[in-house]
Amino acid sequence: MAKALRSTRVLTPDGIAPAAVIVDHERITALEGWNAVPGSAELFDFGDLVLLPGLVDSHVHINEPGRAEWEGFETATQAAASGGVTTLVDMPLNCVPETTHVSALEAKRSAAQGKAWVDWAAWGGAVSGNAESLPSLVRAGVPGFKCFLIHSGIDGFRWVDETDLRAALEKLRGAGLPLLAHAEVPGPVDAATQALDRMSADWRKYSTYLRSRPDAAEIEAIALLIRLAEEFQTPIHIVHLSSAQALPLLRHARQRGVPVTVETCAHYLWFDAAEIPHGATQYKCAPPIRDAGNREKLWSALNEGLIQMVITDHSPCPPEMKRREEGRWDLAWGGIASLGLALPVLWTGMKQRGIALQRIGAWMAAAPARLAGMSGRKGVIAVGADADFAVFDPDARWTVAPSDLHFRHQISPYLNAELHGRVRETWLRGAPVFRAGAYPGEARGREQVHS
Ligand SMILES: [Zn+2]
């Protein structure tokens, strides 16, 4: 039996308007007027709650197989569903084996069996020395590749220099798949760290960590990546941009038609370096959270379209690896846990800046879906797309408590944050997977294999 999901506020590519979305066999089959629900359809009336497309988070570290004690498919995908996210794309590191060859991808597929509550895909890894493995990963269905231009923290995921990048781009030429890059180079980071150590800087202070990851590391990396994207005419995607000082370079590149796209994280749009307490290593990420002026420039770039999407870079670890007793930023594991919170965090920031809710559709759904090769199928309310939805109450107000965190370890810099907007239900391919704080049904998530 067909279903009709009705609201006075449905977000489609045309904006927010009253509508009834008709769903049959996991897909959206029609968009009708609010009053035109077919008599044969089962009606779900959401009143004035906003019906958003299911969100797509193209930057998540699920860490399974191999480090399921850090996170895992079950907890990550439930956390996603609690925040209206219906598709995750997993990063190829922090799992064991790293997803740098086809047998590792097969191990990930086995690990996900029966545990995924939302749909997912896996980025392949481009590391120093594995260029020969990239074509087979393309054939096996990855939507693109992730690389690091600096040490990743994982010895098995080797960072790439220009020679390695050229080898990878040579293999990707013409494939149409993006190369995603962690854009910091080691030179400025190493120099800054050595200088801080010479002056015996206090590594409990956030300002010490911030100075150890200067803007120059991002700027140099992005300049190199732009040069290569232009030369190879192969899409390069800058993950988690933090430094607003790189924006002029990116603007100039995009004006020239260089195939470069950019994401930033909810945490760079929310936190201010000046307010991060000493020793509060739950805020550690790389590149680092910078000052409020930088944050406002990222918001402007998002508004302008220079940054196309907002993702979480959810990257948790066991609590002991945050080393809170010592509180040393140089010793703590980096990575911010936030899966499930990005929509209210972003919406709260948008309200403060007078930005219309409808822009969520591009920033958190359509653009990351496009990056992962899922355009038209994921991240949009349109005929033919998967019937994935987030039912969102934009007027709800709440304070983040540990019980609101559905991922494995209840540690996050967003604890106690006061947010606007709350996800009431999440639907995956035509049926709810999250409703009133619970997970009805079973784990129905499927891998979205790229073809
Ligand atoms: Zn990441």
For 141-198, the pLDDT digits (tens) are 999 999 999 999 998 999 999 999 999 999 999 899 999 999 999 999 999 999 999 9
State both tokens at 221.
């990396």
Express each pLDDT in 219-273 by its tens digit.
999 999 999 999 999 999 999 999 999 999 999 999 999 999 999 999 999 999 9
Q: Are 451 and 143 in contact (CB under 8 A)?
A: no
Model confidence at 50, in pLDDT bands (50, 70, 90)?
very high
SS3 at position 285: coil
Q: Are 285 and 182 in contact (CB under 8 A)?
A: no
Residue with tokens 């991808």: 105
Express each pLDDT in 207-222 by its tens digit.
999 999 999 999 999 9
Question: How far, in Å, is the centroid of ligand 1 from the Cα of 88?
Answer: 13
Q: What's the whole-number average pLDDT of the chain? A: 97
| Residue 230, amino acid | E
Give residue 287's pLDDT. 98
Would you tell me the crossing angle of helices 247-255 and 292-304 to the nearest 10 degrees? 10
Question: How far, in Å, is the centroid of ligand 1 from the Cα of 62?
Answer: 10
Question: How far, in Å, is the centroid of ligand 1 from the Cα of 309?
Answer: 14
Question: How far, in Å, is the centroid of ligand 1 from the Cα of 125?
Answer: 12
- Before 394, cis peptide (omega within 30)? no
Question: How far, in Å, is the centroid of ligand 1 from the Cα of 314?
Answer: 7
For range 23-28, the mean pLDDT: 97
Q: In what order do the strands lie in the sheet with 85-90?
A: 55-60, 85-90, 119-122
Give residue 321's pLDDT. 94
Separation of first and last alpha carbons in the chain:
30
Question: How far, in Å, is the centroid of ligand 1 from the Cα of 418?
Answer: 25
CA–CA gap between residue 345 and residue 267 (Å, rounded): 9
Question: How far, in Å, is the centroid of ligand 1 from the Cα of 357?
Answer: 26
pTM: 0.98
Residues β-bridged to residue 121: 89
Give residue 268's pLDDT. 98
Give residue 108's pLDDT. 98
Question: How far, in Å, is the centroid of ligand 1 from the Cα of 153?
Answer: 11
Question: How far, in Å, is the centroid of ligand 1 from the Cα of 289?
Answer: 14
Express each pLDDT in 328-386 by its tens digit.
999 999 999 999 999 999 999 999 999 999 999 999 999 999 999 999 999 999 999 99
Please choose, from the candidates 244, 245, 250, 225, the residue with its C-alpha nearest in 3D space to the C-alpha of residue 235.
Answer: 225
Pairing of β 309-311 and β 15-24: unpaired
State both tokens at 234.
């192969």
Residue with tokens 């911030």: 210
Question: How far, in Å, is the centroid of ligand 1 from the Cα of 65?
Answer: 17
Could you give the maximum distance between any two Cα atoms of the chain, in Å?
75
Give residue 193's pLDDT. 98
Q: Are 307 and 371 in contact (CB under 8 A)?
A: no
Give residue 401's pLDDT. 98
| Residue 205, amino acid | K
| Residue 156, amino acid | G
Give residue 116's pLDDT. 98
Question: How far, in Å, is the centroid of ligand 1 from the Cα of 196?
Answer: 26
Residues β-bridged to residue 89: 121
State both tokens at 420.
């606007």
Model confidence at 84, in pLDDT bands (50, 70, 90)?
very high
Question: How far, in Å, is the centroid of ligand 1 from the Cα of 315?
Answer: 6
Proportion of the chain above pLDDT 70, given as a percent = 100
Residue with tokens 């403060």: 352
Model confidence at 119, in pLDDT bands (50, 70, 90)?
very high
Question: How far, in Å, is the centroid of ligand 1 from the Cα of 80?
Answer: 16
Give residue 326's pLDDT. 93
The number of residues making up the chain comes to: 451
SS3 at position 303: helix
CA–CA gap between residue 63 and residue 48 (Å, rounded): 38
Question: How far, in Å, is the centroid of ligand 1 from the Cα of 30?
Answer: 37
